[in-house]
Structure 1
Amino acid sequence: MKRKFSETTLILSIGGSFLVGMILTFIVLNSRFNFSTLGDISQVYQNINHNYYQKVSPKQLKNGAIKGMVNSLDDPYSQFLADEEQTSFNEDIASEISGIGVTIEKADQGIKIVSVVKNSPAQKAGLRVNDLITKIASHSTNKMSTEKATTLTRGKKGTKVKLQLKRQQLTFNKTLQRQPIKVPTVSGKLLTDDRMIGQITITQFSERTAKELQQQVKKLKNKGARKLIIDVRSNNGGLMDQAIEAASMFLPNGRNIMTLASRADGNITYKASSKYLNNYKVKLPTVVLVDKETASAAEIFAAALQQSGHLTVVGENTFGKGVAQTMTPLNDTSEMKITTAKWLTPNHDWINKKGLSPNVKVKYPSYMNIKPFTDTQILSLNSHNNDVKIAQQILQALGYDVPKSGVLDDQTVQQLKLWQMQNKVDPSGNLDVSTRQSLTQDLVKKAQADDPMQQKAVTILKEK
């Protein structure tokens, strides 16, 4: 997304990789700034440039100085972004990446494709689910993390990446041209047990989220939905304008959505309005799901529906990010964001570091706190490893009789073999990468089936 350098951008998210919104007027440096204070900086620059024992590029020194100033704020949300960091940031702004269009996971001998995006370069090149990527460019994927593989497959639009792949016994090469891949932020479905209830999940607030939400509501209504669950759990924020526009759908015009309070501009209150999505309104009974990872723009959305829409919010206290950042482009390859404002809920609460309190508090099952696997080595009988303890915790949550000793003893091996046979995994009794992945997936399925927050939302909706 191309932006003029005379613009700054407001950011409402907890991550460095998500999300930007609402173009503001350019903030000009105060004319009273004492430029003589830059003398020390210039002196340090010159000293390093001339006397450091190795040659240092001017760009490296300049970026280091900017990072140092931003880091001195001791603010986790203020950042200086340059080169690849800026590119990644801007891709997430638009919920668009330039890549090949696959979802991947770690496998025993490389990186496995678990889904292929429709009409993507990967699909057009004939890549399939379960294909194993064994090389990306000249890099072997045998011990490569999924994060590294993702970085290597992404790049500038139109550039090419060469893959070596294995499909059963066939090994072959493909060269793919990276293209923009649109990542939807909203998905929806009718509940299996009650087809009159539609559940919509919003993963983040990016450039088209409000429109995608409107489309999902219409689609579910056409399928018979008469009540809605809006799930913003694990949504760590995004574009403020999209959160406002999405919230306006559920509120009578004129109701407060949020107030932005800044030193430069004072207080600005945003209200539900007919200007959003052609005054489209959702009048179905609705419950909102939140958790401790619901943050920033997602908190704006949930707070507005709770306090101005009087809708029920179910789950845990939210993350509590009540501040906003302004994005200022510096040049073609760098930009900076600093905290410039705080925001208040319709009740004028500042939820920073406190979070939004749901109307109905519901906790996740304790097994949801099991930590992820950290190793990839194959562990066999009598192995002692923290991953063994994690596997034992998962097996216990799935109903298998194992200790939590951290030792792959006879009892654990036998129960692990039983689980492997029941889940069509090689019944070796070993804890390998495939078993780790399948155990994790099985636990996720259980969590989805056991979801106490969703169950509470359904109970509330059935009473309406």
Structure 2
Amino acid sequence: MTFRTRTVAIIVAIAVLLSSAVTALVLKFDELLLAITQPGFSIGSDSKGMDEQINKFKQAYGLIKGNYIRPITDQQLIDGAIKGMVQSLGDPHSDYMDPKDANEFKTGLSSSFSGIGVEITVKNGRLTIVSPIKGSPAEKAGLKPEDQIIKVNGQNIEGMDYREAINKIRGPKGTVVHLDIVRPGVQDALKISVVRDEIKQRTVEATMLPDQLGHITITQFAEGTADDFAKELARLEKQGMKGLILDVRSNPGGLLQAVLKMLEHFIPEGKTLMITQDKEGNKQVYKSKGKGTKPYPIVVLIDKGSASASEIMASSLKEAGGYTLIGETSYGKGTVQSAQTFDDGSTLKLTMAKWLTPNGNWIDQHGGTKGVKPDIQVKYPDYWTAIAPRPKESLKLDQNTVEVKNMQIILRALGYHSGRMDGYFDTSTEIALKAFQQTKNLPVTGQLDEKTAIELDKAFLALKKDPKNDLQLQVAIQTLKKKMRE
């Protein structure tokens, strides 16, 4: 058995929703059959022999209900039938959720909750990270987009039911989950430990950089994001902002209504923001109701973790607003889901359409252009994907491991040149580690023990958080300054 192909958010459900809750009736089995066999029920042209299929369904239901050795309820059978239909679609973004899972889905778009802070999809039967949320335990631990989770706390989860696997990753605040990760381009599996925590969804962060340049980071498009964004934008403008950087890196998406409302601050009235297209080819065009453009230049930062609603924002600002995109090609999620909630609290989330950019481009990674392309491509430095090692036993001379390689990469990034970068712990590596220990007032042993590992992790995290070391941000700043001089 392989994972059911669908997207699951561990601590936050990320989907572009046309509607978040549409009430429908939950029919009893006989009523359900009656409803779908009525003359007015819509059946596709390819559904020949529908009566035969309904009879087959009735027979299977009767056989199970009447003969299965263990207790079984109508609800279990109907839920199983719906799940089976959704699973047969092979769509990673369509899902049927029982009341408990549906409640977690809705909670993911509200205030705060506990988890590791990452959105997960399924690719080729493996749990695969779409994006860790900025500032989350997952990001701090070094998890990256496209990382594949193969073990949880030492247990192989390949082939396990996806909900069972997700439940193993979840857990109370303050507890640790140990993950084995396969990372594209890295030969050996990585071992990463993440401390679960409460994820407070402060989805908008705004700061004024030197030279009156505003920097607004949007971590997710959730309830309240559009209002918070408007307040922060107004605050920066009141302070005399001369240029703006909109940052949707590692933003896995969210509510469609939120991103459309935010785009109207920058796109003039009447211009197309996005287009949706259903299976029949019918298109709905979403146009701006905004008042006009801003008097200052704007650039947008994107990366591989920018998905869904983030891509709507980036593509609209580029094609309808003429603003410059900087960074890496985005994730490539070009479909739209609608969520229908039933009376018992269960929810069917179904892909109903694909969305197109203002120029009619489909950016989906399955059949589309595979993401939104930046105007100025800037990759993260090589050390950005390194993971600070937390070995159970000290790393020392003559060892040859992935953890040693990560330590060497981080030491060099911090200015301690370790010589080799291939994972072999030689004397040059030992000298570099001793220099780091001396700087941090640690026992100078030349071994990476627990205390040294903690300090190395702190120093590396501080390095990455320093705006001066954020190459993409620095390019955005220089691009804005150039535009301000034009």
Q: TM-score, normalization: structure 2?
A: 0.68
Which of 266, 273, 285 aligns to 2:297? It is 285
Q: One-letter code of the match for 2:241?
A: A
1:312 and 2:331 correspond: no
Which of 196, 214, 219 aligns to 1:198? It is 214
Q: One-letter code of the match for 1:259?
A: I
Which of 377, 389, 402 aligns to 2:392? It is 377
Conserved 8 A contact 2:388-2:460:
no
Alignment of 1:54-453 (within 5 A): 55=71, 59-94=75-110, 96-98=111-113, 151-153=171-173, 183-191=201-209, 194-263=210-279, 266-274=282-290, 282-353=294-365, 354-370=370-386, 372=387, 376-381=391-396, 382-399=398-415, 400-423=417-440, 429-431=446-448, 435-436=452-453, 438-447=455-464, 448-453=467-472
1:18 and 2:34 correspond: no
Tell me the SS of whatever aligns to 2:19: strand
CA change 1:23–1:59 in 2 (3 A) is same
Partners of 1:22 and 1:428 lie apart in 2 by 59
Deviations 1:399-448 (A, max 9, x none): 32142343445543442233234345665544456654543443344344
Deviations 1:204-241 (A, max 9, x none): 11111121111111222233322111111111111111
Partners of 1:58 and 1:408 lie apart in 2 by 62
Q: One-letter code of the match for 1:412?
A: T
Partners of 1:244 and 1:258 lie apart in 2 by 9
Deviation at 1:281, TM superposition (A): 6.3
Deviation at 1:32, TM superposition (A): 3.7
Deviation at 1:64, TM superposition (A): 3.5
Which of 452, 469, 476 aligns to 1:457? It is 476
Q: One-letter code of the match for 2:296?
A: L
Q: One-letter code of the match for 1:442?
A: A
Partners of 2:426 and 2:287 lie apart in 1 by 61
Deviation at 1:245, TM superposition (A): 0.8
Conserved 8 A contact 1:258-1:270:
yes
Deviations 1:240-266 (A, max 9, x none): 111111111011111110011113792
Partners of 2:441 and 2:200 lie apart in 1 by 34
Deviation at 1:98, TM superposition (A): 4.7
Q: One-letter code of the match for 2:364?
A: N
CA change 1:82–1:213 in 2 (3 A) is same
Conserved 8 A contact 2:244-2:296:
yes
Partners of 1:261 and 1:325 lie apart in 2 by 12
CA change 1:269–1:436 in 2 (3 A) is farther
Deviation at 1:56, TM superposition (A): 5.4
Deviations 1:11-34 (A, max 9, x none): xx9764224544287799770444
Deviation at 1:67, TM superposition (A): 2.5
Aligned CA-pair RMSD: 3.8
Conserved 8 A contact 1:195-1:224:
no
The more displaced of 306-315 and 327-336 is 327-336
Which of 25, 33, 41 aligns to 1:31? It is 41
Q: Greater strand share, 1 or 2?
A: 1
2:122 is matched with none
Conserved 8 A contact 1:86-1:334:
yes
CA change 1:412–1:14 in 2 (3 A) is same
Deviation at 1:188, TM superposition (A): 1.0
Partners of 2:260 and 2:63 lie apart in 1 by 50
CA change 1:403–1:224 in 2 (3 A) is same
Partners of 1:234 and 1:430 lie apart in 2 by 34
Deviations 1:116-169 (A, max 9, x none): xxxxxxxxxxxxxxxxxxxxxxxxxx99xxx97963249xxxxxxxxxxxxxxx
Identity of aligned residues (%): 33
Q: One-letter code of the match for 2:371?
A: G
CA change 1:316–1:223 in 2 (3 A) is same
Tell me the SS of whatever aligns to 2:305: coil
Q: One-letter code of the match for 1:227?
A: G
Partners of 1:436 and 1:254 lie apart in 2 by 55
Deviations 1:275-295 (A, max 9, x none): xxxx59643211111112211
CA change 1:405–1:251 in 2 (3 A) is closer
Deviation at 1:45, TM superposition (A): 4.6
Deviation at 1:75, TM superposition (A): 1.2
Conserved 8 A contact 2:336-2:355:
yes
Conserved 8 A contact 1:19-1:89:
no
Tell me the SS of whatever aligns to 2:108: helix
Conserved 8 A contact 1:373-1:436:
yes
Partners of 1:430 and 1:253 lie apart in 2 by 62
Conserved 8 A contact 1:314-1:457:
yes
Tell me the SS of whatever aligns to 1:93: coil
Tell me the SS of whatever aligns to 2:276: strand
Conserved 8 A contact 1:14-1:236:
no
